[in-house]
Amino acid sequence: MSAFSHTLSRDASISFAHLWSEAGSQLWYGAPPGQSVTKQASKLRVGVVFGGRSGEHEISLRSARSIVDAIDRGRYDVTLIGIDRTGRWHLLDEPTFRHLTDAALPALDDGGVEVLLPPAPGGSDLIIPSTPSVALDRLDVLFPVLHGTFGEDGTIQGLFELADIPYVGSGVLGSALGMDKDVQKRLLQAAGIPVVAFLTVTLRQWETDRSAVTTAAAEVGLPLFVKPANLGSSVGITKVTTLDALAAGVATALAYDNKVVIEQGISAREIECAVLGNDAPEASVPGEICPHAEFYSYEAKYVDQSGATLRIPAPLTPTQTAAVRDLAVQVFLLLDCAGMARVDFFLDRDTDTLYVNELNTIPGFTTISMYPKLWEASGVSYAELIHRLIDLALQRHAQRRRLKRTYAPGAGDGR
pLDDT in tens, 356-409: 999 999 999 987 899 999 999 999 999 999 999 999 999 999 999 888 888 878
Q: What percent of the chain has pLDDT over 70?
A: 84
Q: DSSP string spanning 111-148?
A: -SEEEB--SS--S-S-EE-SSS-EE-PPPSEEEE---S
Contact status, residue 15 vs residue 114, Cβ threshold 8 Å:
no
End-to-end CA distance of the chain: 46
Cα angle for residues 401, 403, 406 (degrees, 5° grid): 110
Q: How confident is the model at residue 233 (pLDDT cuts 50, 70, 90)?
A: low
Strands annotated E in 312-353: 339-348
Evaluate if residue 228 carries a pLDDT over 90: yes
Contact status, residue 341 vs residue 267, Cβ threshold 8 Å:
no
Evaluate if residue 234 carries a pLDDT over 90: no
Domain 12-168 is of which CATH architecture?
A: 3-Layer(aba) Sandwich (3.40)
Q: Where in the chain is the domain with CATH 3.40.50.20?
A: 12-168
Evaluate if residue 17 carries a pLDDT over 50: yes
Q: Position 402: which residue type?
A: R
CA distances from 163 to 274, 336, 395 (A): 29, 21, 17
Nearest CA-CA partner of 241 in 256, 226, 254: 226
CA 78 to chain centre: 20
SS3 47: strand
Contact status, residue 223 vs residue 289, Cβ threshold 8 Å:
no
Other beta carbons within 10 Å of 115: 20
Q: What's residue 294's pLDDT?
A: 65
Predicted model pTM = 0.87
Q: Measure the CA–CA gap between 307 and 299, rounded to whole angstroms.
A: 7
Q: What's residue 296's pLDDT?
A: 53
Ramachandran sector of residue 170 (left: φ over 0; alpha: ψ -120 to 50; beta: rest) = beta
Q: What's residue 7's pLDDT?
A: 37
Contact status, residue 407 vs residue 413, Cβ threshold 8 Å:
yes
Q: Measure the CA–CA gap between 101 and 65, rounded to whole angstroms.
A: 7
Q: What's residue 27's pLDDT?
A: 32
Q: What are 143-158's pLDDT values in tens digits?
A: 999 998 899 999 999 9
Evaluate if residue 300 carries a pLDDT over 60: no
Domain 170-194+266-380 is of which CATH architecture?
A: 2-Layer Sandwich (3.30)
Stated as kind and residue range, the H or E segment containing 184 is helix 181-190
Evaluate if residue 175 carries a pLDDT over 90: yes
Mean pLDDT of 100-120: 87
Q: What's residue 103's pLDDT?
A: 85
Largest CA distance in the chain: 72
Q: Measure the CA–CA gap between 327 and 313, rounded to whole angstroms.
A: 17
Q: Where in the chain is the domain with CATH 3.30.1490.20?
A: 197-265
Nearest CA-CA partner of 301 in 239, 383, 367: 367
CA distances from 172 to 137, 152, 155, 228, 336 (A): 26, 9, 7, 20, 9
Q: How confident is the model at residue 64 (pLDDT cuts 50, 70, 90)?
A: very high
Domain 197-265, CATH number (from 3.30.1490.20, 3.30.70.3000, 3.30.470.20, 3.90.650.10): 3.30.1490.20
Q: Where in the chain is the domain with CATH 3.30.470.20?
A: 170-194+266-380
Cα angle for residues 363, 264, 221 (degrees, 5° grid): 170
Stated as kind and residue range, the H or E segment containing 309 is strand 308-311
Evaluate if residue 26 carries a pLDDT over 50: no
Q: Measure the CA–CA gap between 412 and 407, rounded to whole angstroms.
A: 9
Evaluate if residue 13 carries a pLDDT over 50: no
CA 28 to chain centre: 27
